[in-house]
Structure 1
Amino acid sequence: MPVSLLWAVDVYGRVYSLSTAGQQWEHCHDAQMEFKRVTAAQQCCWGIACDNNIYLNVHASDLPVRYQEETYENQRWNPVDGFSERLLPSDRWQWSDVTGLQHQPLDSFRLPSDSWEWEADWYIDENFEGEPTEKGGWTYAIDFPATYTKDKKWNSCVRRRRWLRYRRYKAMDTWSKIPSQQTTLPDPFSDISCGGWEISEEPRGRLSLWAVSLQGKVWFREGIYHQNPEGSLWEEVSLPGEVVQISCGPGDLVWAALWEGQLIVREGIGRDCPKGTSWAVVDSPSPDVGAIHVAVGVNVVWAVTKDNKVWFRRGVNSHNPCGSGWISMVGEMIMVNVGLNDQVWGISCEDRAVYFRQGVTSSELSGKTWKVISVPRDGDRSHSSASANSLQRWRDHKRCRICRSCCSGGGDHPRRGRGQSSLHRQ
């Protein structure tokens, strides 16, 4: 049976995980720094450390993380030298990308961070469209740009060949800092949430990572997929107000809580536009008390208001991301989180313990009642029978509702209370 992990951060910034195959919260001893937030997907876990940097923990698997770098060597024929690196002023660079617009000599490529290593040196690709080329890997055309062939013809005035080099991600099962981009972000991040893996049709496709800064701005991390787990760069997303917290589901649901207590919903998210196009504003569940926290799944939205009341949003789906109305739920929480199969987790306002929502089904997404997960942490000496029974109830519930799914879950985790959790499945 596949193993699922519940991730948590305690008030001291220590990261823990609770496995369906384990007996206790396991301390992530690799984390030498304190964390404020963590958010998980199937293949990785992201976190905001107390040094205000973003860290990534990629879980080791049988499938290595490799990225292919490529560049093209271009030449033109002339009557004196034959094919040579002497190009016309209007031609592309001698070393360029596939379009010829970007200058890419071999020595210009750098590893994006210390988490990568080169597998070997550059080599010539001697295959073209699935067929072998002549030795040297050259393909020929009448001019730049044009249709290339592997056969040299009487009118072949230009040629090019592709050079390849692979880099491998080596920082598996460890927290690695995401390198800062050329443009320094104006202020640190305060919240983070990953999801979006069901938007792509590929089983190890693209991930969406959303972040909130201390000034209430929202950022989207571009270019996260299996071969590039760190992503490429942060892009700011325009807002109708200042955001305090954000939540991203495994599909196309993204909600955020505003400082004023309202909620906003991202619209226009799809395979070709993972960060969406616009925001829609949704009023707080309570007319007198603003919302402070929101959590989304595939077809559910949960919210917590400033008086710690818990609310469930009716009628939420891909065609209607805003839903149709709020339902008041029993219980008081400081935060909630949605994991696999729309399972709900919460941190109790009263005892700061982790609870899960029992009775969540496809026909009753709001569930029936809250059940505490009372198990010891790594290093605790006591393990009562009540704790063991609580863990068994959680496992039984996950077997019938969560482990049936092949997708994974993630969430956001305020650093407050004894444990803030996100669901992660390996």
Structure 2
Amino acid sequence: MPVSLLWAVDVYGRVFSLSTGGQQWEHCCDAVLEFKRLTAVQQCCWGIACDHHIYLNVHASDVPIRYQEEAYENQRWNPVDNFSDRLLPSDRWQWSDITGLEHKPLDGFLLPSTNWEWEGDWYIDENFGGEPTEKGGWTYAIDFPATYTIDKKWNSCVRRRRWIRYRRYKATDTWAKIPSEGQSGPLPDPFNDISCGGWEISEEPRGRLSLWAVSLQGKVWFRGGIHHHTPEGMSWEEVSLPGEVVQISCGPGDLVWAVLWEGQLIVREGITRDCPQGSSWVVVDSPNPEVGTIHVAVGVSVVWAVTKDNKVWFRRGINSHNPCGSGWIGMVGEMVMISVGLNDQVWAISREDRAVYFRQGVTSTELSGKAWKAVSVPRDGDIRPNSSTSTSSLQRKLIKITKVCKG
């Protein structure tokens, strides 16, 4: 049976984990960084340090993370020089992508960050469609663009060959800083909250991920291009909002909820495999409009919320066809935050003693559970979980974090 882990961040920014097979909270040491938020998935953890920057910790495995860069060398035949790089003005670039539209010289490829290293130099791919080419890797066609073959014919006026180079991600099992760069330059303000999920949308074992972040000014950003082979993602893109957001939660599927500064909640609609960012927001009233909401946590098919008076609420009627649900149900207990984990299991931080509580009786037919039970184990360094918790699955030395929530 896989071992489950509960992660937490204390008031000093230290990260701890608790295993179902362990006897105490274990301190996850980091000599430099102090964290205030964590969120994670199977292969990696994301965190916001106290410097407001986002860091990524990719779990090491037996299979290294490698990314293949490619470029195509294009030539045209002429009576004087035979095949050469003297192309017509209307032709594609001498060095290009596979379409020929983008200029890609070999010396123009740069590592995306200091967390990567080149495995070797460029080399020619001497295979085409599973068949070996002649020495040199050239494939031939009548003109650009056209269907290429490995056979050189009398009317083969153009040719191309593919160059390959691999880069390897080297920053495993350590916290690597993610550049705060948007599509149009540096982001205007740092981050204050973060949530990662969406891996079930792509329907791939190692599909892409969705990372949502909230800035100090209440703006929401989405980081695209996160995949097993590109764990850092590509860039940040700002998402338009109906108000200022203070906290956000993303489930493994298409559930994304956020808390507005005024205490209302917003739900992201239109999230699909082709549009993981979604298309629009829908405003949902707070469980107690007079008090307002301070925290929300979502899972596969559940939404929990905490209002400013520390009351706990469960949203009924949540499913992929109705991400907004149908109404709130008040639950017993007073908490400062809620975390939804593996199989929609629920964890919380108590208002009274700041201890970790587990929601008993949560099943597929009883998603709201029955009662709260304190997690009473010794704490290495006297941890008081305050900022962040998460649940994960560990099997054969591989940390598999199925859902990480924030405080």
Structure 1 equivalent of residue 158 of structure 2 = 158
State the shift of 1:139 in Å.
Answer: 1.1
The residue type equivalent to 1:151 in the other structure is D
TM, length-normalised to structure 2: 0.93
Structure 1 equivalent of residue 245 of structure 2 = 243
State the shift of 1:279 in Å.
Answer: 0.7
State the shift of 1:337 in Å.
Answer: 1.0
* 2:383 corresponds to 1:413: no
State the shift of 1:129 in Å.
Answer: 1.5
Counterpart pick for 1:333 among 329, 332, 335:
335
Structure 1 equivalent of residue 19 of structure 2 = 19
Structure 1 equivalent of residue 286 of structure 2 = 284
Runs of 5+ unmatched residues, structure 2 = 384-390
Question: Contact conserved, 1:191 with 1:412, CA < 8 A, in 2?
Answer: no
Partner SS, residue 298 of structure 1: coil
* Greater strand fraction, Structure 1 or Structure 2: 2
State the shift of 1:93 in Å.
Answer: 1.2
Question: Contact conserved, 1:55 with 1:177, CA < 8 A, in 2?
Answer: yes
State the shift of 1:407 in Å.
Answer: 7.8
Counterpart pick for 1:303 among 298, 302, 305:
305
Q: Distance in 2 between matches of 1:238 and 1:55?
A: 24
Counterpart pick for 1:204 among 203, 206, 223:
206
Structure 2 equivalent of residue 119 of structure 1 = 119
The residue type equivalent to 1:162 in the other structure is R
Question: Contact conserved, 2:341 with 2:402, CA < 8 A, in 1?
Answer: yes
Partner SS, residue 101 of structure 2: coil
Q: How does 1:266-281 map to 2 (within 5 A)?
A: 266-281=268-283
Partner SS, residue 258 of structure 2: strand
Structure 1, 307-316 or 33-42: larger mean CA deviation? 33-42
Q: Distance in 1 between matches of 2:200 and 2:38?
A: 20
Structure 1, 217-226 or 15-24: larger mean CA deviation? 15-24
Structure 1 equivalent of residue 172 of structure 2 = 172
State the shift of 1:22 in Å.
Answer: 2.4
State the shift of 1:53 in Å.
Answer: 1.1
Cα deviation digits, residues 93-152 of structure 1 (max 9, x gap): 111111212211111111111211111111111111222211111111111112211211
Q: Distance in 1 between matches of 2:86 and 2:379?
A: 68
Cα deviation digits, residues 42-87 of structure 1 (max 9, x gap): 1111001111211001111222211111111111111111110111
Q: Distance in 2 between matches of 1:45 and 1:100?
A: 37
Structure 2 equivalent of residue 138 of structure 1 = 138
The residue type equivalent to 1:411 in the other structure is V
The residue type equivalent to 2:126 in the other structure is E
Q: Distance in 2 between matches of 1:143 and 1:21?
A: 65
The residue type equivalent to 2:103 in the other structure is H
Q: How does 1:25-424 map to 2 (within 5 A)?
A: 25-30=25-30, 32-181=32-181, 183-379=185-381, 408-414=401-407
Q: Distance in 1 between matches of 2:174 and 2:22?
A: 20
Runs of 5+ unmatched residues, structure 1 = 382-396, 415-426
The residue type equivalent to 2:78 in the other structure is N
Partner SS, residue 412 of structure 1: strand
Cα deviation digits, residues 216-264 of structure 1 (max 9, x gap): 1100001001000000000111111111100000001000000111111
Question: Contact conserved, 2:39 with 2:195, CA < 8 A, in 1?
Answer: yes
State the shift of 1:174 in Å.
Answer: 0.8
The residue type equivalent to 1:82 in the other structure is N
State the shift of 1:408 in Å.
Answer: 4.4
Partner SS, residue 6 of structure 1: strand
Partner SS, residue 107 of structure 2: helix
Question: Contact conserved, 1:340 with 1:407, CA < 8 A, in 2?
Answer: no
The residue type equivalent to 1:206 in the other structure is R
Question: Contact conserved, 1:250 with 1:408, CA < 8 A, in 2?
Answer: no
State the shift of 1:412 in Å.
Answer: 3.4
Task: State how many pairs are aligned.
Answer: 395
Q: Distance in 2 between matches of 1:113 and 1:62?
A: 22
Q: Distance in 2 between matches of 1:181 and 1:94?
A: 31
The residue type equivalent to 1:104 in the other structure is K
Cα deviation digits, residues 371-422 of structure 1 (max 9, x gap): 11122233569xxxxxxxxxxxxxxx999xx99xx984323323xxxxxxxx
RMSD (CA atoms): 2.0
**Which consecutive aligned stretches of 4+ in structure 1 deviate over 6 angstroms post-superposition?**
none
Partner SS, residue 313 of structure 2: strand
TM, length-normalised to structure 1: 0.89
Q: Distance in 1 between matches of 2:270 and 2:188?
A: 27
**How much identity, in percent, do the aligned residues show?**
82
Q: Distance in 2 between matches of 1:155 and 1:172?
A: 51
Partner SS, residue 210 of structure 1: strand
Q: Distance in 1 between matches of 2:75 and 2:209?
A: 39
State the shift of 1:2 in Å.
Answer: 2.4
Question: Contact conserved, 1:112 with 1:179, CA < 8 A, in 2?
Answer: no
Q: Distance in 1 between matches of 2:63 and 2:148?
A: 33
Partner SS, residue 302 of structure 1: strand
Cα deviation digits, residues 320-361 of structure 1 (max 9, x gap): 100010000000111101111000111111111111111100
Question: Contact conserved, 2:336 with 2:349, CA < 8 A, in 1?
Answer: yes
Question: Contact conserved, 1:57 with 1:173, CA < 8 A, in 2?
Answer: yes
Question: Contact conserved, 1:295 with 1:411, CA < 8 A, in 2?
Answer: no
Structure 1 equivalent of residue 387 of structure 2 = none
Q: Distance in 1 between matches of 2:61 and 2:144?
A: 43
Q: Distance in 2 between matches of 1:42 and 1:4?
A: 13
Partner SS, residue 409 of structure 1: strand
